[in-house]
Structure 1
């Protein structure tokens, strides 16, 4: 088996292993559907590369329309040096939440591969204090193998209501090449699947309850723009960077 095949197998295996968390996913989806039925939105947050799955779920064709990205430019993945410093700042995560329109009963998904830095931990804590259901998407393997940088020694998995485990290995490297080079990142792929699965489960729950799920259509398909305008209309003013 060459390196490409080994990497593909590692990704497939991790995706398959998430089936053990189907009950947690179902609960997260149900809580999301309940919030949407009440006019709520789904909030998503990640810093660094953990922001990528959150971005992918926002204004996504075939995805839920009312998805709000808690976006902070200082935590964007294209600023890696800045991110590594900012996400370790105590108090920064609390400030992010305090600047957002987050409402009791809504769901916030916090994505962090390591889950050891103050920003995602504080953000989850503050959101729970405000009555939101916090879903963590993180790697237990990496998180438990690393020392927390939170002042109280907390990890994201300690403070979330529900935890979805990517299973990604410590350091987010799934294989070692013959010369000892470690490579094969998997956290973004698995986290993206878990977040989309959560949203799809919420759609299924809404349909089962007799409600039409607010789902976006590709703007490059017939009636895409008109459909999206109609679906997004009830949530105007609550979504980041609205189209």
Structure 2
């Protein structure tokens, strides 16, 4: 069996393990559907590579139209040295979130593999203080195996309303090559799956209640541009334009 086989099997096992989150996803989907019915927006946040699933949920074919990316260029994955320093700064996450148009009754998804740095914890805390439902997508195994860097010792999983565990292992590696080389990152794949699953659960809930979910189509399909313009129009002033 090759390392590629090992990696594929590891990812499939983690994705299969997400089945245990069906109830939590349905709960979160129902809450999100309620927010969307009232004109609410889904907010998503991640720093470093945890920003990638958040970006993937934003302005994408088959995804929800009202998705707002809460972001800061200093926390982008293409600035790894800067990210590692800034996401550990107490107070930065609170300041970032205070600048956002977050409204009571809406939902914020915070993605962080480790969930131990101050920034994602503060983003979640501040959103909850403003009456939002906070969903965490994180690795419980990695988080509990690592000391928190938050001043009060908090982790993301301690401050979220709903926690979706990626199951990604400590260090986010699933494959060990000869000479002890560790590789096979998994958190981004599983986190993206869970975030899209949450959106699909909300869509299904809306349809069951007779409401049309605001879903985007591929702009490369006939009529896609016009359809997307209509879907985004009610939320245009509240969506990030600079991911």
Q: The TM-score by the shorter chain falls in which range?
A: over 0.9
Q: How many residues get paired? A: 243
Offset of 1:191 from its aligned partner? Answer: 0.1
1:180 aligns with 2:170: no
Change (3 A) 1:91 1:202: same
Structure 1 segment 209-228 matched on structure 2, within 5 A:
209-228=209-228
Q: Distance in 2 between matches of 1:31 and 1:128?
A: 14
Offset of 1:117 from its aligned partner? Answer: 0.0
Offset of 1:71 from its aligned partner? Answer: 1.2
| Structure 1 outlier segments of 4+, above 4 Å | none
Q: Secondary structure at the match of 1:236?
A: helix
Q: Distance in 2 between matches of 1:119 and 1:54?
A: 15
Q: Distance in 1 between matches of 2:193 and 2:145?
A: 24
Offset of 1:242 from its aligned partner? Answer: 7.8
Q: Distance in 2 between matches of 1:78 and 1:67?
A: 22
In structure 2, the residue matched to 1:201 is: 201
Q: Distance in 2 between matches of 1:71 and 1:93?
A: 10
- Kindly provide the CA deviation profile for residues 19-42 of structure 1, in whole angstroms up to 9, marking residues without a partner as x: 011100111111110000000000
In structure 2, the residue matched to 1:81 is: 81
In structure 1, the residue matched to 2:115 is: 115
Q: Distance in 2 between matches of 1:61 and 1:92?
A: 32
Q: Distance in 2 between matches of 1:148 and 1:234?
A: 40
1:30 aligns with 2:30: yes
Across the aligned residues of Structure 1 and Structure 2, the Cα RMSD in angstroms comes to: 1.0
Q: Distance in 1 between matches of 2:22 and 2:200?
A: 13
In structure 2, the residue matched to 1:9 is: 9
Q: Secondary structure at the match of 2:178?
A: coil
Gaps spanning 5+ residues in structure 1: where? none
Structure 1 segment 1-243 matched on structure 2, within 5 A:
1-241=1-241
Gaps spanning 5+ residues in structure 2: where? none
What is the TM-score when the length of structure 1 is the normalising length? 0.99
Q: Distance in 2 between matches of 1:242 and 1:216?
A: 18
Offset of 1:168 from its aligned partner? Answer: 0.2
